[in-house]
Chain A
Amino acid sequence: MKIAVCVSHVPDTATKVNIGPDGKTLDPNGVAFVLNPYDEYAIEEALKTKELLGESEVVVISLGPDVNKETIRKALAMGADGGVLLKDENYRDSYAVAKALAAEIETQGAQLVFFGKQSVDYDNGIVGQLTAEMLGFNCATVAVDFKLDGDKITVEREIEGGKEVVETSIPAVITAQKGLNEPRYASLKGIMAAKRKTIEEKEAAAAENYTEVLGMKKPPEKAAGKIVGEDASAVPELIRLLKEEAKVI
């Protein structure tokens, strides 16, 4: 079976956000980009599934500019078999990203596709579901456990206050949450092997954006708070403030 993994290339979570000169996007100066943290779980699950099934192939797909190849390379070093870069230098919203990913997944003939639950840039958490729906695939999101038995899929997904067990079947999209597995480190051998693997490059299928960003702004700064005091002696005053000033307890 062909298994696909879609990965995004995002600013490191420690990034201090500065707004770019267009007033709409992040100023990329000084920003380090990394493989989206949730996508590591997606890659790991694809590799584990391949190991379990034998006779299968894992292909990594990323849409974006040339630098996304770094992220694809990382997935190849972890053990993915092949990579595809869908080239586009321009901003795309989730809908337009999903359109192009869906077209590529179809071309690849993949029946099982792993995504991260969310990109830590725009924090949308919808590209997996959109892609699934465009392809007419089943979909289970925010997975913390995944089992495949023939065509049958059982996923545990995180919900408020616990988990729910979803049953569905292939063809399917699964979006990965932390806890699904422990992503492996790329071994030196894996890193060397990744250098020899080819990344196929093609233009991303054209698609129109369904949304438009009008502007980006910083959230209002919190006014500096006060130190109520030191040690246990400050507690009565703290509780009084919470009751009488903040009125939250």
Chain B
Amino acid sequence: MAVNRMFRTCPSSGLVFHEPAEKLMRWNAVVAVVMLLVGGLLAIGVTLTRWQAVHLLPPELFYQVLTAHGLNMLVFWIIFFEMAVLYFAASTLLRCRLATPGMAWLGFWLMVIGALVNNYSVLRGDSSVMFTSYAPMGAHPTFYLGLILFAVGALIACFVFFGTLVVAKNERTYHGSVPLVTFGAITAAIIAVFTIASGAIILIPTFLWSVGLIEHIDSLMYRTVWWAFGHSSQQINVSAHVAVWYAIAAIVFGAKPLSEKVSRTAFLLYILFLQLASAHHLLADPGLTSNWKIFNTSYAMYLAVLASMVHGLTVPGSIEVAQRKKGFTHGLFEWLRKAPWGNPVFSGMFMSLLGFGFLGGISGVMMGTEQLNLIIHNTLYVPGHFHATVVVGTTLAFMSLTYFLIPVLFRRELMFPGLAKWQPYLFGIGMSLFALFMMGAGTLGVPRRHWDISFAGNIFTHEFPGAAWLMMTLMGLSGLVAIVGGGAYLLITVGSVFLGKRIETPGFAHVRAAEGVTREPKPVAVAITSHGGGTGSFAAPGTFVLAMVFLISFVLYYFVNWKYLSTVWPLK
């Protein structure tokens, strides 16, 4: 089969796109956004039902919609987008041809078919088992089959990614080590392989059980192995969105990593330890000992949390250094105040960082503490936490990247630029408040995945405190703001990609390259590129202050919850 060696160089960004890779990135990104649209429409149903003043959907439909919402958002939207990110980080950043585009297309179509089959199963009405599909609560066989097909497709795409790394190495399209963003993508891809393998180990037997070929699935075994798939899939997101943060810092500010060594070692800690924390879903379960629980839930002594705290310093730190070089040196925070808050690529990325760290990270580590978990397991606190991590963290970061990709990858002008300026705020702030109020309600005991906390018509009654009901209302309202923000993103994106004004480049042409891509001439004055410094004062003092604020918040919130636990009935 002839190898396609056609490339184009983007005139605005200087990035070099391999023709097949470009097509794959576009298609994966577009399908991702379609899944986001589906998930977003479903979100309306969920939000307006849990806000019981509206209580929009009847119970059966609510549980069905909630199942579909989880799957389309946590799996389909995010992983399709991540495939585009992987191809970008490999082929585009390494300036090489994508390995075996044919296989990549096979992977893509398997993912599409899998997503359709899985959605079909939920549409049938007999597979409202939530994303987690805990056996022995069973779904229709197509539920598992769809996920398995999707997973196989994603695995193929990951192999194409690794293959592309080999191509780049062999064809010597870059010198030395891969860029940091590519390294972040490698981290994501590694976790993805483990995720998918775990998914296969548990979903294939469960599928066989659903068609009657296996008699019994142990509920504890299922939960333990499933979460190796379920939570690790979210760790793919963490690695990917951190890589996106670095990319945006580079794209918007020309920021340089403070230290390649520190950032890459942090990613290494992710590779080694991030996946262990799936154990935090099993802290309230029988049968597993505290030894296993404590070691795993802590990501091995919280070394992966250390890594996140490192990225939390180095990403904004690199932006601060770049800004200070541009002259924003007045006081501790001029660099931040005068940052381009009107540029949605930046504003979304920075809110993603703050939201993921402060709301998502702190709540997550608290919840993942063996004993503290008892006070919030399966309450609304849990979705509160993960809307902060996956939505304000990952989804908002991906949204920000989209604003860069529309002109650079799709060669379209951004439609509704005024709206685009506000979109990250609508979505980011709305979703952050949504998460916060969910966590508040959860702290007061409100359960997750629950249709009616008033227990109307029940033989027994339970009265949640008034504050809990207030939280639910505020949650509903913020949810609507976030939905509007999400809708704005969809409008802008779909509009621009399909109807936006094409950006014409005079003299544009695809150029056939011989193996590898010719490197641009080396810049002459290399000496100016310094990393950090180590010469006296820290180059990013404002960031250090922010980091300390984060640490203090973390410490306080953490111990407040231990205090809270100590007032609960003694248990042993």
Do A and B share a complex?
Answer: no
Chain A residues packing against B (C-beta within 8 Å): none
Chain B residues packing against A (C-beta within 8 Å): none
